[in-house]
């Protein structure tokens, strides 16, 4: 009986430890997910800052060129128009490239975030399934413990009945073996 109680206590402790480990694992997954999202937000902010700096640098360069050419506008009017058109085209091309890069980055972030959410949901489902299995195992252990206790109780009753029968037989034999007066 003590061995069964010890075994049950050990199994209960193992179940509690497994539950705690699974809960800790779920918390670690959530923390990793939050860290990844923070990293992506930081990368996005750096990309937007670089885009703003590039725009400012291009605008500054364009303004410098215009200021320098303004001194000799008549002589370089056609060249200036050509340069301005080229710079504007390059700026539009760069802006378009940056827009495409930003769009790709946003798609990558969105895809990674969705994958993380799906992964987190899958792990949560697996954790729930493990918890259900642990509950089933605990119920089976409880049922087996109850059946074992009932069997021990029946055996004790049979032993008590056997002892009572032996006492009764001994009493009857003693009585029969006494000399009659």
Tell me what pLDDT residue 133 has. Answer: 92
Residue with tokens 């410098």: 64
CA distance 117 to 111: 10
Asked which of 77-81, 131-135, 169-173 is least confident by mean pLDDT, the reply is: 77-81
Question: What average pLDDT does range 38-44 have in this prediction?
Answer: 91
Question: What average pLDDT does range 1-13 have in this prediction?
Answer: 78
CATH assignment of 2-172, given 1.20.58, 1.10.287, 1.10.3470, 2.40.160? 1.10.287
Q: How far is CA 137 from the centre of its chain?
A: 24
In which band, very low, low, confident or very high, does the pLDDT at 1 lie, cut at 50, 70 and 90?
low
In which band, very low, low, confident or very high, does the pLDDT at 27 lie, cut at 50, 70 and 90?
confident
pTM (predicted TM-score): 0.33
In which band, very low, low, confident or very high, does the pLDDT at 39 lie, cut at 50, 70 and 90?
very high
Instruction: Tell me what the pLDDT averaged over the chain comes to.
Output: 84
Q: Give the dihedral of Cα atoms 122, 126, 128, 129; nearest 10 deg.
A: 140
- Which has more confidence, 177 or 144? 144
Question: What is the 8-class DSSP label of residue 1?
Answer: -
Residue 128 pLDDT greater than 70, yes or no: yes
């Amino acid at each position: 009986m003590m061995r069964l109680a010890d075994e049950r206590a050990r199994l209960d402790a193992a179940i509690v430890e497994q539950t705690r480990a699974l809960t800790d694992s779920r918390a670690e997954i959530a923390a990793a997910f939050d860290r990844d999202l923070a990293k992506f937000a930081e990368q996005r902010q750096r990309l937007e800052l670089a885009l703003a700096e590039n725009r400012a640098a291009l605008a500054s360069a364009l303004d410098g060129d215009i200021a320098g050419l303004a001194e000799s506008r008549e002589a370089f009017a056609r060249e200036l128009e050509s340069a301005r058109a080229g710079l504007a085209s390059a700026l539009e091309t760069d802006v378009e490239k940056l827009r495409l890069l930003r769009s790709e980055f946003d798609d990558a972030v969105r895809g990674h975030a969705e994958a993380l959410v799906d992964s987190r949901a899958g792990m949560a489902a697996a954790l729930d399934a493990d918890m259900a299995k642990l509950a089933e195992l605990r119920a089976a252990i409880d049922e087996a413990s109850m059946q074992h206790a009932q069997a021990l109780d029946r055996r004790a009753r049979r032993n008590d009945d056997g002892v009572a029968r032996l006492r009764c037989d001994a009493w009857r034999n003693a009585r029969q073996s006494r000399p009659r007066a």
